[in-house]
Structure 1
Amino acid sequence: MYMSKTRGNDPGPTIDELLHMPATVDITTAARALGLGRSTGYELARRGEFPCRVIHVGSSYRVPTAELLRILGIEPAA
C-alpha cells in the first residue's frame, strides 16, 4: 500500500499525498481516499460499483490515480 495504515478515525490522505501518488494505487488506498473502508472498497470493486474505474490485474485491483483525483475534484498542477 502506498500510504501507511492507521487505525481509528482516519482522516484519509492529504491533498499533497494524493498529488504524489504513483500512476495507479491499490483498492485499499483508493478506498481510504474516498472515506471508505477496505472491505467496502473490495466489495464495490468485485461488484463493478467502485466510484471510479478499477483495473483488474491477475488477483489484484488497481485504480488510476488521475481518475481518483478527478472524482475527488482535485486538479493536478500542470
Structure 2
Amino acid sequence: MTTQAAGLDTATLTTADLLSLPPTVDVETGGRAFGLGRTTAYRLAREGQFPCKVIRVGGAWKVVTADLRRVLALSEAEEAPAC
C-alpha cells in the first residue's frame, strides 16, 4: 500500500492517520511517523535499526503498524471523538 493509495498527506501523519493505518505499511510511511526521509528509513530497515518492527514480505519491507503505535505510545483510546 502506498501513502497516496491510503489517501494520506505526503508531509505529515496525524494521530488519526496513524490510528487508521492497515496492519502493515511501507517503510516510507512508517518512516514518516518518526520524521524520517525515505532513504534513511530504508537504510535503517536494511541495517535492522528501524525504530519498530519491520518484516520482509517477498521483496518488500513492511512496518508492523501495531509495533509502530506501541513505540509512539498511541492507542485507540487517544482517537479524538468525531464532531
Per-residue deviation, residues 6-56 of structure 1 (Å, max 9, x unmatched): xxxx3x200011110101000000000111111000000000110111111
Q: 1:25 is paired with a residue of what secondary structure?
A: strand
The gaps in structure 1 that reach 5 residues or longer are: none
Give the deviation of 1:58 after TM superposition: 1.5
Q: Name the larger-Rg structure.
A: 2
Aligned to 2:47: 47
Identity, in percent, stands at: 47
Aligned to 1:23: 23
TM-score by length of 1: 0.84
Give the aligned length: 72
One-letter amino acid of the structure 2 residue matched with residue 35 of structure 1? G
Aligned to 2:67: 67
Distance 1:46 1:64 in 2: 15
Give the deviation of 1:76 after TM superposition: 1.9
RMSD: 1.2
TM-score by length of 2: 0.80
Distance 1:72 1:60 in 2: 23
